[in-house]
Amino acid sequence: MKANVRILRGSLAIAAIISALLVSWARAQDSNFHNAPASAKELKNPYEGQLPPNAKALFHLRCARCHGETGEGSGNIPPLKVERIKSVAPGEIFWFITKGDVNNGMPSWATLPRQQRWRIVSYVQSLGRPQSVQSSSPPEAPLVAVKLSAPPPKPPFTDFRYEKPGEIRKITLKVLPAPFATASAGNGPKIVARPEGAWPKVPEGFKVEQYATGLDNPRIIRTAPNGDFFVAETKAGDIRIFRGITSNGKPGQMAVFASGLNQPFGIDFYPPGPDPQWVYVGNMDSVVRFPYQNGDLQARGPAQHLADLPSGGSHTTRNVRFSLDGKKMFVSVGSASNVDDPDTTPGEKHRADVLEFNPDGSEMQIYAYGIRNCVGLAVNSKTGELWCSVNERDGLGDNLVPDYITHVQEGGFYGWPWWYMGSHQDPRHNGKHPELKDKVITPDVMLNPHNASLGITFYDGKQFPEEYQGDLFASEHGSWNRAVRVGYELIRVPLHQTGHASGEYQDFMTGFVVDNEHVWGRPVAVTVAPDGSLLVTDDGSNAIWRISYTGK
């Protein structure tokens, strides 16, 4: 048992450290890597120019559980195969692995043998190099789920074993554990092909169909005023259009609207209403727009740059939404880190915020702040309120800090990084900013911690029963740093036809988890189709799912 604990801690430590290599890049543009001393650049890798024996095995043992076998990343852990890592000296990477970064959950790994640290450095650097020979692997045997012997979760917290369509959940402040009540875990998912017979599960009276397959990292999905579906394929840099729903539940037409973008995510149409003239896109580092008229399958002209956005580090999603009157554009920008202090970290400027612009990109100001990573962004068409779904911080234990969905108040402060869930102070910032304690807004709906709440939409369709009218649906991408995984589902937040949440949420579409190591689907975003069905993007199986109501 003790050996297993040591391996788990080792896996988490190395995964977290390598993740920090990329998070730290934004801070190192004009200085040494992560403030590494000049002498670190002089350290020589004994394996320079070669892939040492057992390097891949070490990476598999220590890192792949969170970073993926090929460094593709998982959850909040960025991919390792990026151009910028090539500019960092091997000695600086080695120095940082040895030193760590306690405030961001990356402990020192000086106890790992020096030779093994260098082998990991070599393997990370090899991920960005082309491979001259692709090794062939024998076909995998059918996947058999491994039964988990962990005890049941303590309600109201849950995990994948107990997620079931229709289950109602409510997490409140009084049940939150103390920080560090449990250790933080490194438990990134291994994405596998959908096992035979596996299919998403929904409540009685609903059915699920596969609307589209073979996509490339489908993320945000938006329904255009004319009924087309715009999808951001983030890694590919494309915006793709799907048109219509045929009698067998498939798209009638498909086209690439725009390509060559920089990790596009957010999409919105301007001006609001039935006759937009522009499609706005949130790139990782900018907001751009394309000239557009209803029915266009391709942009009428090149992208027009409107505003620069903070970039680098963690959290690359930039969502874009307009106020109902079209006078203001809201853009969400996540933090560059887990818990860095913006007072002392320049890379956090104008991050962990919802920013406000004029539609032409001018007069930027902070609309709300202290929101670690507002990924899903939506405007209630009845009330005009702005809402977001948030990935909260890690490193305080399995059941801290809850992710959340909330309305966003102008000038509102939501706690990150000094406070969380009202007047709870993060112990890693003990004593800082006491004047903000009473200003922290407690969110409307607390979700299971670490479940990575992403895209949201308000249900304004007519197909579902009346009780669903005006409710929120949210995609839960799934945990990577919880001992027993949670999320990997679509949830419903009842607003009770009042526009206000009671703190409850409901499991709605589940079934994407095989066991505590393997998953085959990861919901990202959701939109309402003209016929009132829901479309849900899934970047695990690279598909779009359609949920329709068949009951009476």
Give the type of residue at 121: V
pLDDT on residue 47: 84
Please, which pLDDT band fits residue 139 given cuts at 50, 70 and 90? Answer: low
Q: Distance between CA 392 and CA 450 in Å, rounded?
A: 7
Q: Distance between CA 11 and CA 16 in Å, rounded?
A: 8
Picking from 533, 543, 443, the residue whose alpha carbon sits closest to that of residue 202 is 533
Q: Distance between CA 165 and CA 200 in Å, rounded?
A: 10
**Strand locations in 45-159, DSSP E?**
none
* The pLDDT of residue 43 is above 90: no
pLDDT on residue 49: 78
Please, which pLDDT band fits residue 126 given cuts at 50, 70 and 90? Answer: confident
* The pLDDT of residue 76 is above 60: no
- Mean pLDDT for 244-252 is 95
Determine whether 287 is exposed, middle or buried from the number of CB atoms within 10 Å of its CB (0-12, 13-18, 19+). Answer: buried
Q: Are strands 253-258 and 329-333 parallel, antiparallel or unpaired?
A: unpaired
Q: Are 394 and 184 in contact (CB under 8 A)?
A: yes
* N-to-C CA span, the chain: 53
Radius of gyration of the chain (CA): 23
> Domains in the chain, please, with CATH?
2-126 (1.10.760), 167-549 (2.120.10.30)
Per-residue model confidence as pLDDT tens digits over 214-236: 999 999 999 999 999 999 999 99
Q: Are 386 and 330 in contact (CB under 8 A)?
A: yes
Q: Are 253 and 243 in contact (CB under 8 A)?
A: yes
Q: What is the mean pLDDT of the chain?
A: 89
Please, which pLDDT band fits residue 134 given cuts at 50, 70 and 90? Answer: very low
CB neighbourhood size of 270 (10 A)? 17
- Mean pLDDT for 152-167 is 97
Q: Distance between CA 335 and CA 154 in Å, rounded?
A: 30
pLDDT on residue 294: 97
* The pLDDT of residue 72 is above 90: no
* The pLDDT of residue 522 is above 50: yes
Per-residue model confidence as pLDDT tens digits over 308-347: 999 988 899 999 999 999 999 999 999 999 999 999 999 9
Please, which pLDDT band fits residue 136 given cuts at 50, 70 and 90? Answer: very low
* The pLDDT of residue 27 is above 80: no
Q: Which of 70-79, 256-265, 286-295, 434-443 has the lowest mean pLDDT?
A: 70-79
What is the DSSP-derived secondary structure letter of residue 219? E
